[in-house]
Copies of this chain bind each other. A is one copy, B any other.
Amino acid sequence: MTRLISRRAVLAALVVVSLAGSASAQTDPLPSWNEGATKKAITDFVSRETTRGSPDFVPVDLRIATFDNDGTLWCEQPVYFQVAFAFDRLKAMAAQHPEWKAKQPFKAVLDGDMKALAQSGQKGLLEIVAVTHTGMSVDDFEKLVLEWTATARHPRFKRPYIELVYQPMLELMTYLRTNGFKTFIVSGGGIEFMRPWTEKVYGIPPQQVVGSSGVTKFELKPDGRASLLKLPKVEFIDDGPGKPVGINRFIGRHPIFAFGNSDGDLQMLQWTAAWPGARFMGIVHHTDAEREYAYDRKSHVGRLDKALDEARKRNWTVVDMKADWKQIFPPL
């Protein structure tokens, strides 16, 4: 029998053994990313920046990576998850506010009338955010967020919202941290809506979360205990041209790696690209209606239009969700 085993088969077997050996010696840090140009762009970049002697080597202190949240780290359809939280809060509070049954924009939310809600515009949304996000201490708000993330379910996927995070992006952030990067969230979402769960879900502690915020006010309660009250006044919108402002204010260093998914991330990517040296600019393009959603230039949520043009023009990395990602969400 041995004589029947051809030299070719032996060589093939050796190749398999050798590949298996190499795989076990160096486990793929990005198993949910299909092999291809996108994955290679990421691993090549990290290797160039972190290899001593490489012309692009960057010391650990300067390895700053920033990620948008909605649509980049977790799903943002059919509405931003923070909007879903606000609607759920509003419904829970409605019993104490009978007047809302006749008053827009509250009536629209209670009736599930998305058309009337859309007519109330940004002003209406701000009113909803004001009544659901302010008038309590920052600590009481944190509790409300944690209650919601523990109980609310996404209408399509029937899973808690904080499970609808992108498995490939979780792997990417871990991979970057393993290579000495500090990972930051830079989101248009509310900073106090994200911080209660980002460490558990993304491995990103509160102090590495940058987001939009409302004004808070220091108070001494009658018993002398200090408290911070959330006021119904916008303090900072961390979106679009606000993202470089937020990065500068909170981080104080230029990112060398940035990932977004919409036109609201364009300026963060431009800001990252503006500094000398090798930089990584990435965009998640939602192309997978079957496993997640497909949307870009005409979407009301997470519109990706100008930033897609800019990415193509400047050779930024565009993730094709359908082609590049083996898996979208973490396994159940």
Which A residues are within 8 Å of any B CB, using their own CB?
A: 61, 138, 182, 184, 191-192, 195, 199, 205-209, 213, 216-218, 220, 224-228, 241-242, 244-245, 248-253, 267, 270-271, 273-274
Contact = CB atoms under 8 A, between A and B. Distances in A.
A22 to B, nearest CB: 35
Residue of A61, A213, A226, A251 with most chain B CB atoms under a 10 A cut-off: A226
B226 A271 contact: yes
A245 B214 CA distance: 11
B218 A267 contact: yes
B226 A191 contact: no
A245 B274 contact: no
B244 A207 contact: no
Given A199-B61, A226-B244, A226-B271, A251 B218 contact: no
Given A191-B249, A274-B227, A218 B244 contact: yes
Contacts of A216: 245, 248-249
B241 A191 contact: no
Given A245-B217, A252-B195, A226 B274 contact: yes
Given A207-B207, A250-B207, A253-B206, A226 B182 contact: no
Nearest to A241: B218
Contacts of A208: 207
Given A226-B273, A274-B226, A218 B206 contact: no
Given A226-B274, A245-B228, A274-B225, A251 B199 contact: no
A250 B252 contact: no
- Identical subunits present: 2
The 10 closest A-B CB pairs, nearest first, are A206-B252, A218-B241, A226-B274, A226-B270, A195-B252, A226-B271, A218-B244, A207-B251, A225-B274, A216-B245
Given A226-B267, A253-B207, A138 B248 contact: yes
Contacts of A242: 218
Contact of A206 (B209, B251, B274): B251
A205 B244 contact: no
A25 B208 CA distance: 37
A191 B244 CA distance: 16
Contacts of A207: 182, 184, 207-208, 250-253
A241 B228 CA distance: 10
A287 B224 CA distance: 29
A220 B270 contact: yes
Nearest to A206: B252
Nearest to A249: B213
14 contacts: A61-B205, A138-B248, A182-B207, A184-B207, A191-B252, A207-B207, A216-B249, A218-B244, A218-B245, A218-B271, A220-B270, A226-B271, A226-B274, A228-B271
